[in-house]
Each structure stands twice: as structure tokens, then as C-alpha cells.
Amino acid sequence: MKITDIKVHMMQVPLVRPFRISLGVITHAVSCLVEIETDTGITGYGEGSPGPLITGENMPGTVETLKVFREKLIGMDPRDIEAVNAVMNRAVAYAGTAKAAVDIACHDILGKDSGLALYKLLGGLSNTIETDMTVGIDAPEIMAAHAKEHIKAGFRVIKTKVGTDITEDLARVKAIREAVGDDVKIRLDANQGWNAREAVELLKRLNEYDIELVEQPVRRFDFEGLKYVTANSPVPVMADESCWDSRDALHLVSERAVDFINIKLMKCGGLWEAKKIVNIAEAAGVEIMLGCMAEESGIAINAAAALGAALGNITRADLDASFSLKKLPYEGGFTIENTKDLVLSEAPGLGLSRLKEEMFQ
């Protein structure tokens, strides 16, 4: 089997409501669909969703990077995923979003060629993964109302954004806990919004609200600060922006700098690299959460959900981006049960049955 063409289509889907984090505001899912065509008639689909606030990438740059990959990859066997990733890594440094789009499409082809659903191809532990639901930054009473709506709908875990103002953060978490009751898990995500010392002091105060974990309390490059928070916080600490790839994961777990790691396919460059992070973390006894970019349309969510369901050391999921979209650009893939459970398709690969071409540019 050989790659004969790689096509890129841009899409922009409005969110149900603007989504604010400590780094800025997101109003649309801006993403690109990648189609990898082969000489056997099998086409694989992938998605690259550049997140300027997190990865520093944008759509024009991602599209140009994909053009470079097209020149390098035509003629290669897309099932040789290690080789495909090696070629991309030699051609362009970083650029996780473009690499993830190609990597996901190659895995889709591998699944279709083998007749296996992607979750089976990746490990097959389960076909279902439960996601939390995220509340963006707003006034405490509005965030509490949104959290209560999500719990009423059937979610059991709320992830709430914090990190803009310490006093407001305290009020936000207090309001959410009072709104959802004692049986709901609450996760915090500061998106690098605090420094190490204020993070520890604030988490000591927030701990009375029974917080499951806090994600990325300090700047991504502040390794010593992250390690300090982990050593002194009563709330377990998760790395997100501080862990981009398997090398970062090795550094973090070898120094016991975090309690958990959040993998996003757009950061690490796809499923192939993500599996390396999972293996390193598992060997160190560090559990994984599968996350997503708010800008993802859902195609990449299908891939992440497949990985999360397939492997045992992925114990948590924050794969709620699809719930925030006014419409989806595809049919098929996972289905939703009990509001919160993503049930993977049994069809080969990602299991997408139709792309809504009218939504692509």
C-alpha cells in the first residue's frame, strides 16, 4: 500500500458559548481535516486543531507544514507508522498539530486495512470511556449554574477553569461545590495561571472543597515550581502544558514532579507518541488523563477516546470538546450513552461513516 495524495480541508465550527480560560477566550473550533488517499482505495481521516493559546500554532502554519509532509510522504506505506513519524520528525521540528493529523489518518488506514476498530488496534481493554465536562471562567454564580446543568444532564465529574484571580478562584470553586453537592468530583485547571507559592497556599484553602486534582498550576517551563507544588500541595497535581512528549514525561516522572499527566494529541503529535508517554508513566506508577483542545471538531476526539478506552493506565478523560459545538462535521464514530460515556464504533478504524463536505473549505 502506498500514499498517493494528502488533502487538507479547513473548517470552522462555532461553539455553543464562548469558552474562557486563564490564557484567553475561544469562540470557534478552528481545525483542519486531513485525507490520506492510497493506491488500494482506502482513505484515512485525521484532524489537526492548532491551539494558539496552548501550542502557539495557527491554521496557516499548520496547512503549510502539511504541504511539507505531503511532499515527503507520498509513496510511503501509511501502515508503517514508525517510519511515517520518523520522516515527519526529520522534516519539521515540533508542529504537533500537523503531525497528529497525519498520524491519526495513518491509524485510521491501519484499522480499515486490518478490519479492526481503532480501540482494538490500540489495545482493546474497553470500548467505552467516561469524560468529564468543563466549565469555562466566568462569574462564580454563572459557573456554578453551568456546573449544576451538567450534573443534572448526567455528568459525574466537573473540570473547572481557574487561574485569573485568587479571590475569584476561591469564590468560583466554593460556588461550584455548593451547587453540585458532595458526590461530584471536581477537577481544577489553572492553565499556568499561578506561581508556585501562591498555588500551594491557594490549594490548601481550596482543599476543603474536596478537589480531586489540579492541572498545570504554574507556567509550563517552571519545572522546579511544578515540583514544589506537587511536594507541598494537599491536592494532587497534573502536568499538562509541561508535558509535550515522551521526553518531557520521562523528566517529570523520574523527578517525581507530578502525580498525573494529561496527554493531548495536538501537543505530542498523535497516537504513536502518546502511547510512548503512557508506557513511561505506567512504568513509574503515574496515571494518565486523555485531554483535548477546545478547538477540536471531534474527529481527533474519536482517536483520543479510542486510545483512552484501549489502555488501562489511562484512568481519566477530558474529552468534552464535541459537546461544545453547535454541529459536527461528520457522521459515525463514537456514540454517547448516559450523557458522559463515549462508546467507540466497532467499524474499522475511526468508524466515521460520512464527512459533511459542505462544512469544509
Query: Of 142, 188, 163, 123, which is closest to residue 18 (Cα–Cα)?
Result: 142
Other C-beta atoms closer than 10 Å to the C-beta of 221 total 11
DSSP secondary structure string for all residues of 149-193: HHHHHT--EEEEE--S-HHHHHHHHHHHHHHH-SSSEEEEE-TT-
What residues act catalytically?
A: 161, 189, 215, 240, 264
The three-class DSSP label of residue 341 is: strand
The pLDDT assigned to 322 comes to 78
Give average pLDDT by consecutive 10-residue segment, the chain, 361 residues. Answer: 96 70 68 95 95 86 96 98 98 96 98 98 98 94 96 97 92 98 97 95 96 97 97 98 97 98 97 98 98 86 97 97 76 93 97 79 65
pTM of the model: 0.94
Which whole-number Å values give the CA distances from 251 to 48, 244, 346, in the listed order?
A: 27, 11, 37
